[in-house]
Chain A
Amino acid sequence: DTEVTQTPKHLVMGMTNKKSLKCEQHMGHRAMYWYKQKAKKPPELMFVYSYEKLSINESVPSRFSPECPNSSLLNLHLHALQPEDSALYLCASSQPSRSETQYFGPGTRLLVL
């Protein structure tokens, strides 16, 4: 089973709202990733957690705040977003012994008004 789940599937928020995206996997993977994807473009890496510790932050604005409460769960907290943050947000995970292979979730499509 290589399933990564993400909720919600769609999200509309105003620029003053606070919302969270959730990602879950039960495959024993110990690295989890957040990506942002704009239409017709490849995904762009935002954050990497390895063994629940933040390992990479690709200079993401502080209005995006990641959290990894345990080895199965990854959250992305959103606050004071801008319309240009509207995108598909993808979560991925990889296992320690095969960490070159990432499995992606279905994504959350975010619209910021």
Chain B
Amino acid sequence: GDSVTQMEGPVTLSEEAFLTINCTYTATGYPSLFWYVQYPGEGLQLLLKATKADDKGSNKGFEATYRKETTSFHLEKGSVQVSDSAVYFCALSKVAGGTSYGKLTFGQGTILTVHP
């Protein structure tokens, strides 16, 4: 079946450091790829997405590129802030033929803590 593997955390960085969170996937067909972020005590927020190979998703300074050749969707940010401290989930989604809903497969999540 489909699966998503994220780098294990927790990740601890100083403010203004460069961030990379690795994500690789295994899937048949043509999944869409996502990064969701969950701030403490909150629900999941869609951070960015890419729906086909070589697409780059970007939002709030975060970027990720859909690499089909390496089955990867690594999350990067050039300069993190304390407010970026959260749990980050990589996920893939596919829509089964003949249906109008998607099924998300999540990675295990990576806890990011940014210190001043």
Given A42-B107, A43-B106, A99–B100 Cβ distance below 8 Å?
yes
Are A55 and B99 closer than 8 Å at their CB atoms? yes
Main secondary structure on B side of the interface with A:
strand
The distance in angstroms between the C-alpha atoms of A45 and B44, with both chains bound, is 14
Are A94 and B43 closer than 8 Å at their CB atoms? no
Are A50 and B51 closer than 8 Å at their CB atoms? no
Given A30-B100, A50-B100, A102-B102, A43–B94 Cβ distance below 8 Å?
no
Q: Is A66 an interface residue (CB 8 A)?
A: no
Are A90 and B43 closer than 8 Å at their CB atoms? yes
Closest Cβ of chain B to A110, distance in Å, is 14
Interface 1/0 per residue, A89-106 and B, CB below 8 Å: 010101010011111111
The distance in angstroms between the C-alpha atoms of A103 and B45, with both chains bound, is 7
Closest Cβ of chain A to B65, distance in Å, is 18
Which bucket holds chain A's interface residue count? 20 to 34
Given A42-B109, A43-B106, A104–B101 Cβ distance below 8 Å?
no
Q: Who on chain A is nearest to B109 by CB? A: A42
The distance in angstroms between the C-alpha atoms of A48 and B103, with both chains bound, is 9
Contacts of B101 in A (CB 8 A): 31, 33, 48, 50, 55-56, 94, 99
Which 4 A-B pairs give the minimum distances between C-beta atoms?
A42-B106, A31-B101, A104-B44, A100-B93
Residues of B participating in the A interface, judged by any CB pair closer than 8 Å: 31-32, 34, 36, 42-46, 49, 51, 87, 89, 91, 93-95, 99-104, 106-109, 111
Beyond contacts A2-B46, A56-B101, A104-B46: 9 other A-B pairs, Cβ-Cβ < 8 A, are: A33-B101, A40-B87, A41-B109, A45-B104, A56-B103, A100-B93, A100-B95, A101-B46, A105-B43
